[in-house]
A and B are shown apart, each in its own frame.
Chain A
Amino acid sequence: MSLLELVQYATLVVLVLDAVGVGTLIVLKAVNRRRRLATERRKREYMRLISRHVAFEYCTDPIPADAARDPAFIDAIIDFRNVLAGSELANLERLISRHGVVRRLIKDLSSPWKVKRLRAAMALAEIGGDETVDVLLAHLDDREPEIRVQAARGLGRIGWTPAIDEIVSRFGRVSPWVRARFADTLIGFGADATWPLVAYVMVNHRHETAGPVAAIRTLAAIGDAQAVKPLMDVLETATDTEVTIAALDALGSLGHPMAAPVMRTAATNPDWRIRAKVVTALGQVGDVGALEVLATALTDESWWVRRNAAAALGAVPGGLDRLYEAVAGDDRFASDAAMEALVDIGELTAARMRMEGGIAAPRDLALISHVEAHA
């Protein structure tokens, strides 16, 4: 075959592919548009029917027998499930049971089709009841990460506390995305998740980073004071910088004064990231005993430590005096950081107003002149 013949054949093939492509595009656009419109229409109709059924327990308007197979019906049910309460919710649950929706979704979870499985997992997470617990627990190890996420979400929505240990035990061996979503679920469980998370952190924080760090952040978001003491232990024994930072962050946001002495000991850590976090956390706790530590941190070599220390002083009782002292002091870096914090918390505006009112104190004038000189 000559080169020319080859080109001729290739051209003909490409032109045929072009024709097929044009045809496919036209058909696909028409079909997709029609499908979208049809789904919207069906959903509207289901919404109408469901609204009657939830309003009147003995409503006889017929809902198609195979409605549970239709994603539009499931979508409509989820929309109602999220807004109803009381007798209307009971009516909706009867409707779900009568049409075998949950049974259908559980069956779909075993489908070979990924889309079907994903849709079923998400719907179960929204409308599943106690009867779905075993299925959801089993799918915490599903091969599809998103199905694992939905399984945990469903268990969280049902409030099945035995699932907490199951979710926590998987913290270290799932992807960051799944871990973040598991954390959301655990936060939803609230204080019930505190001890399983604490146990997980205590056992693992010396061997791994990602799992314990996520667990500590989750503890901080739950906000249970029972976690303070264990986190103090973690702070004292941690060897990993990320774990230390997470523990400081959590202790700061938990805000318990009991943690302050342990946190203060970390203020001399050689790692500036830890020092920067310590001063922020001390400010969050509002530890009066930390005034000296924070004032010293104003002269730290790291910009972030100075800035965070100044911000923390703005939040600690008695800290404002230290900031004004630093503004008037000789250390230019400390002075700048203190000035920034004072401006940020509105002291500059207040000082100007006092000056206009003729009641400005010397330190107000010092702050104003310092800011003007700096500008």
Chain B
Amino acid sequence: MIRTRALTKDFVVSRTRTVHAVRGISLDVEPGELVAVLGPNGAGKTTTLRMLTTLIEPTSGTAEVAGYDVTDRPGRVRAAIGYVGQGGAGGAAQHVRDELVTQGEIYGLDRRRARVRAAELLEALDLTEQADRKVESLSGGQKRRLDVAVGLVHRPPLLFLDEPSTGLDPHNRANLWDHILRMRTAAPEPMTIVLTTHYLDEADTFAERVIVVDHGQVIADDTADALKAELAGDLVTLRVPAEHAAALATIAERAPGTRSVRVADGGVRAQAAGRAPGVEQTVEIRTADGPGAAPGLLRAADAAGVDVRRVDVARPTLDDVFLGLTGRSLRETGVDGAAPDPDEPTNAPTSATTKKEVPA
């Protein structure tokens, strides 16, 4: 469905400054896949999407979308894809239904069939009540559902979603995803979906495959579970009296499956009632299988006389994956794009820069 080879995009900002927004991305997406492209703002997600949707031309490399080259046959690509951009699809003064009918006509439906299709989508996306209202009067969640409906009018086999749920509250996000997933399976052949996101849980929950992008390059590409197992591992956290921490660390290092052990700096004064007061420390153990490793660790600690007071087993998040890959936290690097990498200052434009402010 998508095939890119060494796809790059440079934005010439000024005579002395070129932003390498995308630096050689090679990707294959098969029909029916649901892929999340994850990365901090400025990583090149949106720029990649804009190349795949024919909005901008690649600087070099090739991209085939739905079987057609994006540079040579943009008309074919446009006819085959649906696109839900970061912005809204509905004109403020337009009526909800009219926008869907217009979109149907744009894709070649006659007026009658466009009206039928619009009614179907209004029903499917829970917008029937809002059909004859102006777009500007819709709530955030309703607007976003309209954007999705607009992107689906022509039943595209491939749908691009650029940060589909940014700005929605958790309830509306879940609701939007319900609709997207239902529309995906309602299609005769499951729709291929490519989304960009910087919400970790969104990629984690909905995507079957996660592509992590940083500085315009793909740095990981697998299922969320495999990425987490391979790149991060589970985190077992044990709290012990400070004087036992070193002994526990030694035990943990010998335990099967352990990848790394870290004794957290600084003690925590014990608060629990009925215990001798004293300073406690936390030992963090990265291991392939946390729930499987914890009982063994506890038995070994017991045998060595280590007094374990608290146990916590956490499955890794995609943030842990990103941290493992880059040494930076996705949350810190992300959302406002305010933390460019000091080593490569020209490679970290904010996504707003990539999108609007960089003259090409």
Binding between chains A and B: no
Residues of A within 8 A of B (CB): none
Residues of B within 8 A of A (CB): none
